[in-house]
Amino acid sequence: MNKKLLLSLFAVILTVASVKAQRHELGVRLGTSNLVGDIGRTGYVLQAPFGETSKYGFPAYGGIIYRMNFNPYQTLRFDLGYSHIQFGDAWAKEEYRRNRKLYGTNTLLEADAIFEYNLFPVNNEQERGMLSPYIFAGIGAMMHDVTQATLIHDYRRDVDGVAQAPVNEIDFNTTAEYYSGRKVTGYLPFGIGLKYKFNYNWAISGELMFRPTLTDQLDYSTINAKDLKSTYNADILAPNTNTSLLQTDIYYAVSKEREREFLKNREVGDPNGNDWINSVTLGLTYSFGRPPCYCD
């Protein structure tokens, strides 16, 4: 499998290198990123930083960008980016959020492929000092932190810590233990930008990117069922088995019901609405490679 992947990447590199009718750009993008979710502020762009930087960090975006210009108007672009987002109910406009007082941060590693269309021929190799708005859309994936949990089902204990047999189906304890994990989700980047080529080789661009994601977990407002595990104390076994008594019959049914209640009680906001990550950035790129032949 690894050999196939390496061969595929090698083939892509050869293809890109052999396409003579391309003009390549490589550069960086810097700016800010913010979350629009169930916790924190609901402004779509340029949310001001809050709190102590040592505790909350800074809502920043940084990344590298590579463009292949097919002609003066059309570009295929690849981004690798890093976003740090912060969210806090205390800084929201909505009173119910301020009263809730939830907060947190997340770190995102992003990769996407995007098609750009320039309204004017800013990629014309023979021109400089050109300015053009552009629109773009594509697909991407990001790695992010999530909250996961384990429900620990245990017997009641006497003063010496010895397990006591349950007297009915609900006569046992369930406690939650939280921990952090990493997951990958998809997103659909789109937005608008403005590109200015101030030199034959150099260009700057500013853009506004919206990224609706396929998850509602960026602000830890939900825990998915597959991120919840259960353990069962085995101090008392079911008759003639090596299985905890709590994993059998009515006790097990109650434990599953407690799992569903835990997931429901852990929900914050609308569980049917996914999170957005939006960024405002400035980019600087350098053009290289054989100039394209833009022929009619």
10 has a pLDDT exceeding 60: no
- pLDDT at residue 35 is higher than 60: yes
Predicted confidence at residue 19, as pLDDT, reads 44
Closest listed residue to residue 63, CA positions, set 79, 76, 78, 77: 79
Between 3.40.190.10, 2.40.160.20, 3.40.720.10, 2.130.10.10, what CATH number should domain 21-288 receive?
2.40.160.20
* Mean pLDDT (whole number) for 78-84: 97
Radius of gyration of the chain (CA): 26
Question: Looking at residue 262, what is its pLDDT?
Answer: 97
Are 138 and 190 spatial neighbours (Cβ–Cβ below 8 Å)?
A: yes
Structure confidence at residue 13 (pLDDT): 43
- Cα angle: 8, vertex 12, 14; to 5 degrees: 115
Tell me the per-residue pLDDT of 195-212, one tens digit each, with 9 for 90 and over.
999 988 899 999 999 999
Please compute the mean of the pLDDT values over residues 244-253 and round it to a whole number.
95
Average pLDDT over residues 45-51: 81
Predicted TM-score (pTM) of the model is 0.83
Report phi then psi at 217, rounded to 5.
-110, 5
Mean per-residue pLDDT for 62-81? 95
Domain ranges of the chain: 21-288
Question: CA-to-CA distance for 196 and 165, rounded, in angstroms?
Answer: 75
- 3-state SS of 223-283 is CCHHHEEEEECCCCECCCCCCEHHHCHHHHHHHHHHHHHHHHHHCCCCCCCCCEEEEEEEE
Mean pLDDT across 250-273: 94
Q: What is the mean pLDDT of the chain?
A: 89
| Over residues 96-109, mean pLDDT | 93
